[in-house]
Amino acid sequence: MGSEITLSKPDLGGREEELILEVVRSGRLSLGPMLERFELEFAEWLGVEDAIATSSGTTALHLGVRSVGWGRGDRVVLSPFTFVASANALLYEGVEPVFADVDPETLNLTPEGAAAVVDGTITGVLPIDIFGFPCDMEGFERLAGEAGLGLLEDGAQALGTIDRQGRKVGSRGTPTAFAFYANKQMTTGEGGMLIPRDREEGERIRSERNQGRSADMSSLDHSGLGFNYRMSDVAAAIGVAQVERLDELLAARERVATLYSALLEGDERLTLPVFGSGSEVRSWFVYVVRLTEEIDRDGVIERLAGLGIPSKAYLPCVHTFPQFAEFGYAEGDFPIAEAASRQALALPFHGSLDEAQVETVVARLKEALDA
C-alpha cells in the first residue's frame, strides 16, 4: 500500500499523535487551550493580529459573509469556476450570487471582470484564489473603495500563497476564509479559519461561532443569533502540529508541482498551471492540467483509472447547479469558465509523492492521451 498512488493524501506524523493524546488526556475536548493555541500560532505564521478557527471552510465563509454585513437583498459578484461552498455561503444569508467570467490563464475573477457587472444593485465582491493562485486583491480593494462595495476573500485553496505585493493571502486586512479539509495544504481533518479585520470583529465572530454566547464563556446569555461552528480541540491539535511544519509542507507540494511541470512541458495537448504571472507565488492545492477541446477529458479519466491512476474532473461551474436556477443562468453564459470546466483534469497530488510516482503518473497520462 505504501507505493499506491492516491489522488490526495494528508501528511500526518508523530507530532499530530502526540498533541491529540495531550488533548485526550487533558479532558478539554472543546473550547480548550489547544484551540486558543492553534489560533495564536496560525495568526503568528500568517502575520495577522487574530484568527478564528471554525468547524469547516464553509462555516468560515458563512461567518465571513455575516461579518461583512451581507444579507437578503444584497448582490455579490464572484466566479462560477469555484467549489460550490463559495456561492452556497451567500445563499445561506439570502444574498444573490452574481457570476462573472474568469481570466483564461489564472482562472481567477479579475477586478475588470467584476467591474463589468457592477451597477447600482451590487453590494459586494467575493474574490476566490482558485487552485492556490492569488487573485488581484489590490485591484479588488480599489474597486471596492471606488464603488462602496463589501469585500470578502475566499482563500480556502490558497494557504501560503503570496500575492504580487509580496503579502501572504489573508494578511491584507480584508476578511479571509481558509479551509483545512484533508486534501488541503495543511489539514485538521475538517476545519477552517476566518481572519477578521480587527480584534473587535474577531470577538463578534467568536460569539457567533458559539451560538451567540459571550466570547469569554462567562455566562449562558446569548446576545444574538449564533451557530455551532466550533472547532474541536482534537482537530486544533492536528492544526498546531501542521502549522509547526507548514513551510515544510508547502515546499513538499511545490517540489511535486515542479516535477510535474518539468515532465509535461512541451506537450501541446496540455495547458499547465502557471507558477506565477509576475511576482506572485502559487501555493499548490491541486495540480490541474487543461486538455485541448478535441480531447475527451472524461475518456482520459476512464483510461487512467484502468491504468491504476486516479484523476478527477475539477471543477464544474456552479452556476449550472439547481440551487442557482432561480437566478436565470444557463450554460454558455461564461465561456472561459465553462471551457476550463470541460477541459480541467486534476492529477494525483500531495507532498508525499516521490519522483518515481510522478514519472509513473505522467507516463500513464501520455498513454491515456495517445489511446
For 311, list phi and psi in degrees, rounded to 5.
Answer: -150, 175
Give the helix ranges, DSSP H, for 84-136: 85-91, 111-115
| Residues 138-156, mean pLDDT to the nearest whole number | 98
Residue 219 has a pLDDT of 62
pLDDT of 220 higher than 80 = no
Could you give the strand order of the β-sheet that contains 124-125, starting from the edge strand earlier in sequence?
Answer: 96-99, 75-78, 124-125, 150-151
What's the pLDDT band for 2 if we cut at 50, 70, 90?
very low
CA torsion angle for 115, 120, 121, 127 (degrees, to 10)?
20
What's the pLDDT band for 120 if we cut at 50, 70, 90?
very high
Q: Which of 246, 253, 244 is nearest to 8 (CA)?
A: 253
189 exposed, middle or buried (CB, 10 Å; 0-12, 13-18, 19+)? middle
| Domain limits, CATH 3.90.1150.10, in the chain | 247-370
Rounded Cα gap, residues 78 and 81, in angstroms = 9
For 291, list phi and psi in degrees, rounded to 5.
Answer: -85, 155
pLDDT of 371 higher than 80 = yes
- pLDDT digits over 308-317, tens only? 999 999 999 9
Residue listed under C-alpha cell 498546531: 240
| Domain limits, CATH 3.40.640.10, in the chain | 14-246
The pTM of this model reads 0.96
Looking at domain 14-246, does it have CATH number 3.40.640.10? yes
Domain 247-370 CATH (choose: 3.40.50.2300, 3.40.50.740, 2.30.42.10, 3.90.1150.10): 3.90.1150.10
Residue 84 has a pLDDT of 98
Q: CA dist 265 to 60, 133, 271, 320, Å?
A: 37, 19, 9, 33
The three grid cell numbers given for residue 114, joined into one nine-digit string: 467584476
138-154 burial, b for 16+ CB within 10 Å, e for fewer? Answer: ebbbebbeebebbbbbb
pLDDT of 208 higher than 70 = yes
Residue 278 has a pLDDT of 76
Looking at per-residue confidence, does 215 or 116 come out higher? Answer: 116
Residue 1 has a pLDDT of 38
Asked if 236 contacts 52 with a C-beta cutoff of 8 angstroms, the reply is no
Bridge partners for 304 per DSSP: none
- pLDDT digits over 299-341, tens only? 999 999 999 999 999 999 999 999 999 999 999 999 999 999 9
Instruction: Report angle CA 244, 249, 250 to the nearest 5 degrees.
Output: 115
| Residues 260-289, mean pLDDT to the nearest whole number | 94
